[in-house]
Amino acid sequence: MLDSLIERIRAAHENHAPLVIEGGGSKRFYGNAGAGEVLSTRSLAGVVDYQPRELVLTARAGTPLADIDALLAGENQMLAFEPPHFGSPPQPSRTWGERAAVTPEPIHATLGGALATGLSGPRRPYAGAARDFVLGVRIIDGTGQPLRFGGQVIKNVAGYDVSRLMVGALGTLGLVTEVSLKVLPRPAEELALQFELDEAAAIVKMNEWAGQPLPLSATSWHAGVLTVRLSGAAPAVRAAHAKLGGEVLGDAAAFWQRLRDHVTPFFDRRPLWRLAVKPSTPPLGLGEAQWIEWGGALRWLASEHPAATLRAAASAAGGHATSFRGDALHDGVFTPLTPAMLAVHRALKLRFDPRGILNRGRLYPEF
């Protein structure tokens, strides 16, 4: 299987023929539209090694995230960055609506897609992002050259950190074929509390609490309700509950999973923007339809404002704006890079994929 992928990429390199890398297709909507023949990683599936005592899992890129979650749960462990699945039920999007609508079978998010997009779920500010848990990768670069970086140990500073460079690169530097990840023990107890608070007060609370020794593991604010998840040993969760007060939310696991996978009506709205900002940023004042996560650092906006307005707001708040699900933009869905940063990006792309055949334009239209 690996050999046939290497062959296809080699041939594509020789023929200057662009390829669109695809796993489960659950995140096809994300980034700019690609063009080219589809290169599927689905048959590159399976867990290669899992050592619960080492807190390390190695799996092939096409392995469904659901399989990994289930395997880890069996050992009372988890992917602490809570990668969004965005899988079944299929989520039609404007950009790729026609294709998604006719997909006959359920869509399964894969590990490769989670890493390529680098997206993380509700636990991210408190446990770390996808990139924080990557220990090593095997890739095939844009010339068909297989390469291996990092390894299966938690600490490793030999050579440049090319493994983490692949996370969020949207496949533009190489096809990730195998990943080693650090996994974590699942908390003994989780509890979600809700508070009626306006946006400004909720943002302050989320930041204040994050600065105190509390077992926080997720935060959400939407429509006047702040929801906070506590994780840890049962007595620790009880003590924090006593300290914070609030109403206990029933079926909390489902609430966080729906938020993680965007399976609530709010996330069906288009265009949907993702604004990453300094967590303490006061309300952006860009409209009512908003969902805040990550202690204030992530603000989902269903907004018709022009891209320039949203990018300027995010930039003033120390961050950046992404057109997450919506119309294609002429300069791309991600915040454009400065000329110096763009030059470095192009230089790296040239070294990993000299003919620009891997997911060309998916990250930035320029490469």
Partner 1 sequence: MLSPVFLSRLRALLPAHGVLHEREDLVPFESDGLSAYRNVPDVVVLPEDEAQVVAVLKLCHAEQVAVVARGAGTGLAAGALPVDGAVLLVLAKLGRIKAIDPLARTAVVEPGVRNLAISEAVAPHGLYYAPDPSSQIACSIGGNVAENSGGVHCLKYGLTVHNILKLRAWTIDGQLLEIGSDALDAPGYDLLALLTGSEGMLAVITEITVKLLPRPERAQVMLAAFDDVAKAGAAVGNIIAAGVLPAGLEMMDRLAIQAAEAFVHAGYPMAEALLLCEVDGVNEEVSADIHTVREVLAASGATGIRTAESEAQRLKFWAGRKAAFPAVGRLAPDYYCMDGTIPRAQLPHVLRRIGEMSAQFGLAVANVFHAGDGNLHPLILYDANQPGELEKAETFGGRILELCVEVGGAITGEHGVGLEKINQMCAQFAAPELARFHEVKAAFDPGKLLNPGKAVPELHRCAEWGAMHVHAGRLPHPELPRF
- Report which of 46, 58, 56, 50 is spatially closest to residue 1, judged by C-alpha positions: 46
In angstroms, what is the minimal distance from the CB of 177 to partner 1? 15
Q: At which residue do the structure tokens 């690609």 appear? A: 34
The DSSP H or E segment spanning 196 is: strand 189-196
Q: Which one among 16, 105, 158, 288 touches partner 1, defined by CB under 8 A? A: 158
- 167: contact with partner 1 by CB under 8 A: yes
**Residue closer to partner 1, measured from CB, 285 or 339:** 339
Asked whether position 287 contacts partner 1 by CB under 8 A, the answer is no
Neighbouring CB atoms inside 10 A of 74's CB total: 10
Per-residue x/- track, 3-42, partner 1 (CB under 8 A): ----------------------------------------
Distance CA 342, CA 358 (A): 18
Q: Pick between residue 303 and residue 335 the one whose CB is nearest to partner 1.
A: 335
Q: Where are the alpha helices (DSSP H) in the chain?
A: 2-15, 65-74, 97-102, 111-117, 124-127, 130-133, 162-166, 199-210, 234-244, 252-261, 307-316, 339-352
Site for partner 1 contains 47 (CB under 8 A): no
Ramachandran sector of residue 287 (left: φ over 0; alpha: ψ -120 to 50; beta: rest): left
For residues 25 and 83, which CB has a smaller minimum distance to partner 1 in the complex? 83
Applying CB under 8 A, does 267 fall inside the site for partner 1?
no
Interface positions, 243-262, toward partner 1 (CB under 8 A): none
Which of the residues 122 through 151 are near partner 1 (CB under 8 A)?
A: 124-125, 128-129, 131-132, 141, 145-149, 151
**Of residues 40 and 207, the one with the C-beta less far from partner 1:** 207
* Window contacting partner 1 (CB under 8 A); options: 60-68, 193-201, 262-270, 345-353: 345-353
Is residue 160 a contact residue for partner 1 (CB under 8 A)? yes
Q: Is the peptide bond before 89 cis (omega within 30 degrees of 0)?
A: yes
Q: Is 2 in the site for partner 1 (CB under 8 A)?
A: no
Q: Is 139 helix (H, G, I), strand (E, B) or coil?
A: strand
Q: Is the peptide bond before 271 cis (omega within 30 degrees of 0)?
A: yes
The reply to whether 59 sits near partner 1 by the rule CB under 8 A is no
Cα 260 from Cα 81, distance rounded (Å): 11
Q: Which stretch binds partner 1 (CB under 8 A): 21-29, 34-42, 206-214, 260-268?
A: 206-214
